[in-house]
Structures are given as structure tokens and as C-alpha cells.
Structure 1
Amino acid sequence: MHDTNQHNTTNDKMIYFQTHEIESWINEDAPLLDLTGHLLEINNQPARLSVKSRHATRLTMMEEAARIFELLGAEIKLQLPSGIDVTAETEILLVDGRADALHRGWKVAMNLLEYLCGVATHTAKMVAEVEAVGHIPLLVTRKHLPGMKKPMIKAISNGGAHPHRLGLSETILIFENHLNIIGGRDALKEKIPQIQQAACEKKISVECDTLKHALQAAQAGADLIQFDKIEVDSLSQWIAQLKNNYPHVKVIIAGGINQQNIRCYAQSGVDGIVLSSLYHAKPADLGVTITPLIK
């Protein structure tokens, strides 16, 4: 039996993977044939592949793992949905097909599931830590490996978190390196009104590492302050002062946040917590067996 608790999960249809993307994953691992299976002459033998969890796991990428085998001509007998929690020894995927098809898709699907279910599981734990003390979002950065945006966004979404920035094209976040180019923080009082006019439907965020910088950005018209690597005691004091003067300004914190201190940050008065470390989660431990299928 599996636990169908779907707290803070996201519908798997939120992100669509095109067929050619999944075919490219297969082709990368086996562009011609499975040489071992070919030489063992097991190609035409009917077989069954079973995937089980070895510990409590938040599932993700289940639909894409199933499509790998479908594209190889196999038949899906059981596929649990992304976004649910399962206990140890839960069968999450069952596939029937030719032995060569199952072996060809085996590692592609398993690498996808183990890596990304690990991300989803760790994300769910961190979300639970935040929700234990507050009602603010856990936001995840775009600091993932190039080419992994869609799988990573699905994983953190199924874990209950939200994307911080999906990319550079739709959000405005002014960093220190931008300020170096435009002449420093004093330029914000001129630049922010220009941005507000040109992108009237957008919010403007500014990264700050001191209260003085935050007050300056808020006075210039910033909608959101992103503090980076600030100790929680200082952060609480700064937020109180900042919101006393500029109650409309939202505040988020990034950097130096982990499972040991995240509850303290969640209680500091911030409107959101930003993480990158979820992408480096320990992979989930899943077991796979492929056996002859006797009908």
C-alpha cells in the first residue's frame, strides 16, 4: 500500500515533456542497441520490470519514466503518480515487454527517478519544516545544471516548493554586478522609475546585504528586497525596521539556510525563503528487478 497524501504537491501536467526530449534521453544511453542483451540473445524474451522504493519517498517524474518504456514498445501495468508519498517497499512502477526494451530503458528511467525523487523528497522535508512554524513559500533558484530546468522544476514542485525565478526573461532582480555597471546604488533612484514605466506589470527586486542598502532600494521604489547570507537575529531586526517604513515591501532571504536553521528563518518575518541546495539532495534509493514473464 502507498500513502496517497498529496499535501503541497503539484499536478504532473503542469510541465509537459515533448516526445523528442524523452527519446533523446534513450538515445544518449543506447544509440544503437544494448550490446550485452544482444550477445546474450535475450532480445525477444518477454519480461517484467518492477521498481520499488527502499525508503519513504516523494515521487516525481513518474509519468516520464513510464513514457520511456512506452516509447520502447513496452506496456505499463502499474504507475503511481508524481507528487505522492510512498513508504518503503512500495511498488511504484510495473512494466511488461521484450527483455531488450526493458534493459534499454532501465538505467535511463532509474537515473531519472532516483535523482529527481531525491530532490522531491528533500524538498518536501524542507517545506514541512517551514510549514511547521509559518505560512510562507519555499522558493528554489535556477542554479541547476543547464538542460535540467524542466525535470528540476517538476521535482521541486512535486516536493511542494515553488520556482524563485524561471529565468532571466520574465523577472527583474537587480544584483550588485548590475549596480557596478550603472554607477552604484545611488543610480537606483533614477533607474527604478524608468523600469517601472517600461515594465509596468512587473515587480522590481533588489539584492541587499545591509539594512542601509535595503532602505535605499525601498525608497527608490523597489517592490521586494532579497537579503543574502544575513544572520537570522539581524534579519529579524532589519525586517521590522524596513516594514515599519515601507509596509508594502516584500522581503525574502537567500544563502546559508539549511535543515537546522530554516525554522528560525521562517519565523524572522520574511515573506519567502530561497534555496539552491535542494538540487544537491541525496538520490532516492529505488530497487529494480527484471524477471522472465510467464504467461
Structure 2
Amino acid sequence: MIFFQTHEIEAWINEDAPLVDLTSHLLGVEEQPSELTIRTRHTTRLTMMEEAARIFEILGAKVVHCAQSGHDVESGAIIFQAVGRADVLHRGWKVAMNLLEYLCGVATLTANMVKQVEAVRQIPLLVTRKHIPGMKKAMTKAILNGGAHPHRLGLSETILVFDNHLNVIGGRETLNHKIPAMQAAACEKKISVECDTYAQALQAANAGADMIQFDKVPVDELIEWNLNLKQQFPTVKVLIAGGVNPDNVQDYAKSGVDGIVLSSVYHAKPADLGVNIQRLSD
């Protein structure tokens, strides 16, 4: 479970209405009892529902219905209802809607791509940390609710050697002594090296890398490279990253790799949700 602190949610609210909802104030609807309802307009994988509920609770509304994150709902389903003062519901409306539309879009695309992969093989869909700064928690919850896994939650978590590291330390040949030293120092971690060619992967595996992460390799080449690597280095894991999208994810799943790394789900089309606020009897 991803936990959001109250001050984080309060900051979302304060960003949109730091002082007063001027429209509601001038219309004189502050104390009018009202009901807010959110419906889906297409099949949607839900996420961030609990945080949407906390937005309205912090503002003083009462949540009467909140569908659970991680579940699929059909078009027209009521996913959320809250009652309270009209100004409270209007103040929370766009904050909650923006959160739900963007992130349910991510969760829905993630769920669809996970289904495509699982139809072929049981390997993980691993989502990178290429999210907008400040959105790590929300994006991570969205991809988890979509059925994927985080690739790297941060630089402190895993060891992945890129070309830019190699440029600084003197090239790929230095891996022959760098990898054993790294494995000794971080004995509980796996060492992964990004590679663009089979020759680079072979060199990294010979140097002792635990994992090869290929970048932007066509499927036909990847199938051959993966097979050859696994024959020579049975314990080495192989990942593919770069350019993976809904149109080619199944082809990459068929290549024999151990996992698929992508960030394209962060660019999902937002979910289409509808909000209605109605006056209740005084």
C-alpha cells in the first residue's frame, strides 16, 4: 500500500484554492447541502480512489460511496459520491478529478498492457522512474493498481550501469574489475548493465554482470541475442527497455526475456470521468 501523508493531500487542495472559492462565495452557495457524484464513461482500472476520498473528508464533506482502487469498472459506473456544503464539494471537485483522470488513465493502460503480456508469458512489466518529479507516490500506486511492478524506485535501490557511467570510469573494459568489486561491496545486490549490442552484452556477462538490460533492440535480434546469452550464461537475466508500447509489447514478451521495462504508460490518455453536483433538500 502506498501511504500519503495528510499534509501532502492538503497541499494539493491548497494549490488550487489557497484562500476561497470565489465563484461559490459570490453565488452565495457556501452552506447549500449538495451531493457530488463521479461516473466513468468507459471501462476503467481505478486508482487513487482512497486519496480522492480523503480530499473531500479533509474539506469537511462526508463520503458515502468510494469504489476500491485496483478494480475494473464498466462505462457508466458510479465510482464516488460525497455529500456536504456546496462550496466544499466545488473546492474538492477539480483536485480530485485531475488526480483520478490522469492516474486512472495510467492504471488502465498499464492493466491493458499487463494483460497482453500475460496472454503470452508470465513475466513482469517493469515501469521506470521517468515520472514527473513530485509524482512518484501517485504514479507508483497507479502502476501497481494496473498490475505492473516498479523497475527502479530510485537510485539508492538498485545498481544499473549506463553508458554515461562507463564514459566516466574509462569504458566497458573497466567492468572486468569494477563488477567484482561492486559485488563484494554490495553483496546483497544484483549488478545490471545496459547494452546496445550483443558484443557489449557478452563482454558484460563475462565481466560478471548478473543482468543485461538491452535498450531499443529490434525483436528479431533480441530473440537471437537472448537465446545465445542464456546458453552461455544460464543464470544471467535479460531485460528489454526502450520503445516498448501497446503495439509491440506482446512481440517483446515472446522474445524470451525475463522482464520488460517501459515508461510509455506514463503518457496514457486520461480516463474520461464525469462529475455532477446537485442541490439537496434543505
TM-score, length-scaled by structure 2: 0.99
- Aligned-residue CA RMSD in angstroms? 0.6
TM-superposed CA distance for 1:129, in Å, is: 0.5
- Separation (CA, whole Å) in 2 of partners of 1:275 and 1:145: 15
Q: Deviations over 1:110-151 (max 9, x none)?
A: 000000000000000000110111110000000010000000
Equivalent position to 1:146, from 133, 155, 162: 133
1:252 matched to 2:244? The reply is no
Identity in percent: 70
Give the Cα separation in 1 of the matches to 2:135 and 2:241: 21
C-alpha distance in structure 2 between counterparts of 1:263 and 1:170, whole Å: 28
Equivalent in the alignment of 2:252: 265
For 2:44 and 2:25, locate their aligned partners in 1 and report how far apart those are by CA, in whole Å: 34
Task: Give the one of 31, 39, 44 matched to 2:26.
Answer: 39
Aligned counterpart, 1:99: 86
Cα distance in 1 between the residues matched to 2:56 and 2:254: 45
Instruction: State the partner residue of 2:38.
Output: 51
Partner of 1:78, secondary structure, is: strand
Equivalent positions of 1:172-191 (< 5 A) are 172-191=159-178
In structure 2, the residue matched to 1:114 is 101
Structure 2 unaligned spans of 5+: none
C-alpha separation in 2, matches of 1:294 and 1:147:
41
Q: Does 1:60 align with 2:65?
A: no
1:226 paired residue among 213, 225, 248: 213
1:188-227 paired onto structure 2 within 5 Å:
188-227=175-214
String of CA shifts for 1:236-269, please: whole Å, max 9, x gaps.
0001111111000000001122212111110101
Deviation at 1:77?
0.3
1:4 maps to none
Tell me the matched-pair count. Answer: 282
Work out the CA distance in 2 between the residues paired with 1:167 and 1:196: 19
Taking the aligned partners of 1:89 and 1:294, their CA distance within structure 2 comes to 25
Match of 1:8 in 2: none
AA matched with 1:93: F
Within the alignment, does 1:160 sit opposite 2:147 as a pair? yes
In 1, Cα distance between the equivalents of 2:246 and 2:24? 44
Tell me how far apart the structure 1 counterparts of residues 250 and 94 of structure 2 sit (CA, whole Å): 37
Q: How far apart in 1 are the matches of 2:139 and 2:191?
A: 25
1:236 counterpart (205, 223, 238): 223
Which residue, 244, 269, 272 being the options, matches 1:285?
A: 272
Structure 1: gaps spanning 5 or more residues: 1-13
SS of match in other structure, 2:142? helix
Residues of 2 paired with 1:294 and 1:288: CA distance? 20
Q: What TM-score, normalized to structure 1?
A: 0.95
Q: Which residue type is aligned with residue 274 of structure 1? A: V
1:209 and 1:175 mapped to 2: Cα distance?
A: 10
SS in 2 for 1:93: strand
- Runs ≥4 residues deviating over 3 A: none
- CA deviation string 1:184-213 (max 9, x = no partner): 000001100110111000000000011111
Letter in 1 for 2:162: F
Paired with 2:278 and 2:245, the residues of 1 have a C-alpha distance of: 42
Residue identity opposite 1:259 in structure 2: P
